[in-house]
Structure 1
């Protein structure tokens, strides 16, 4: 089992999927880097894997949402958070609220607050 070595390394994602969660839990913090650009071939399969990890992916997602990379935040919201079960996504309520109420200029440019608001509305908040 290994992390992707480049944005085309779908074999590594297949190995991670085969190992499953929680065996891959130690890798989630590093794995989330591969959804920084939703156009990379590994982005969607990695996002699917993070969704399948459920609450196990929350610490890695929280790190991205509390970070400074608005593009990574956008894809984390779009590809993962928006697809999590509502009870799991609700664990990120405070982070989502922060993105809506105090966005940076980069986040505004990348439409992060709008996406975070849509997810909050979907959660009934």
Structure 2
């Protein structure tokens, strides 16, 4: 049995039992789950973010691919979820990407304030 993807941004029923699945069961739908973090104001985003935080060490490459992309708002939310609000130590590869955003941001990362958020993450991990 495979977990269900939300059909719309308020489809909390589809993800209610997400925590009952192992990473291996969820792995095929991780890219689609990450798309639900494009706006943390969506009702499904919070529960999905909590689940994805629990498997963050397995999805580092997926997160980095998005952080190297062009969707600036999505990047902001991912730095928030997997950096600022991280529930476990941040994978060194992901931390390196946060450092890149903090120290060598694109103009768009500066405009979207993703750089500022990444700087906070870096400061937090040094203390």
- Considering the TM-score relative to the shorter chain, is it more than 0.5? yes
Shift of 1:40: 0.5
Which residue pairs with 1:92 in the alignment? 94
Alignment of 1:112-123 (within 5 A): 112-123=114-125
Shift of 1:48: 0.2
Gaps of 5+ in 2: none
User: 2:83–2:118: 8 Å Cα contact kept in structure 1?
Assistant: no
Q: Could you tell me how far apart the structure 2 residues matched to 1:91 and 1:104 are? A: 19
Shift of 1:72: 0.4
Aligned partner (choices 33, 36, 39) of residue 34 of structure 1: 36
CA RMSD of aligned residues (A): 1.8
Deviation per residue, 1:18-71 (Å, 9 max, x gap)? 223232122112210101101100111111011111301212211111111111
Alignment of 1:44-83 (within 5 A): 44-82=46-84, 83=86
TM-score by length of 1: 0.87
Q: Could you tell me how far apart the structure 2 residues matched to 1:123 and 1:91 are? A: 14
Where is the helix percentage greater, Structure 1 or Structure 2? Answer: 1
Shift of 1:93: 2.3
User: 1:81–1:89: 8 Å Cα contact kept in structure 2?
Assistant: no
Paired residues, number: 124
Q: Could you tell me how far apart the structure 2 residues matched to 1:11 and 1:63 are? A: 29
